[in-house]
Homo-oligomer: A and B are copies of this chain.
Amino acid sequence: MMISEVCERFDLTADTLRYYERIGLIPKVNRTEGGMRDYTEYDCGWIDFIKCMRNAGVQIEALTEYVKLFGEGDKTHEERKQILVRERDRIAEQIDELQSTLTRLNGKIEKYDTVFRDAEDELKLPTKK
């Protein structure tokens, strides 16, 4: 699969895909005889995973570390798992924070609604001044 197809599939630019590979965010992709990248489904699995993690705010450094360890084989099993656990916990925490921010924002929006209704009431029932 050519880079252009992968771009379309994951809505990433070719530059971003090459950048990801260059910095080790995804394992090296095999090439054709001509030297062009030839993506497999396996590569796409990585891209999907990395894109999902990046979208959740996981830093590139944590992910390159994970990919590096993955390349070192079974002996890094535990270390890899620790990275996932750490990031999982971070995301869980972030959800909690976002939840309370959401509540706060909803309260603020409600106040805006109330003030607006009051303002409308004033229009309907003009006070003497």
Which A residues contact B (CB, under 8 angstroms)? 52-53, 55-56, 74, 77-78, 80-81, 84-85, 87-88, 91-92, 94-95, 97-99, 101-102, 104-106, 108-109, 112-113, 115-116, 119
A sample of 12 more A-B contacts (CB under 8 A), given A78-B116, A88-B105, A91-B105, is A52-B101, A52-B104, A55-B101, A56-B97, A74-B119, A81-B116, A84-B105, A88-B102, A88-B106, A88-B109, A91-B101, A95-B99
A78 to chain B, nearest CB (A): 7
Give the residues in chain B near A97, CB-CB below 8 Å: 55-56
A55 to B55, CA, bound (A): 16
Give the residues in chain B near A78, CB-CB below 8 Å: 116
- CB atoms of B109 and A85 under 8 A apart: yes
- CB atoms of A53 and B84 under 8 A apart: no
- CB atoms of A98 and B101 under 8 A apart: no
Among candidates B84, B85, B102, residue contacting A91 with C-beta atoms closer than 8 Å: B102
Among candidates B77, B85, B112, residue contacting A80 with C-beta atoms closer than 8 Å: B112
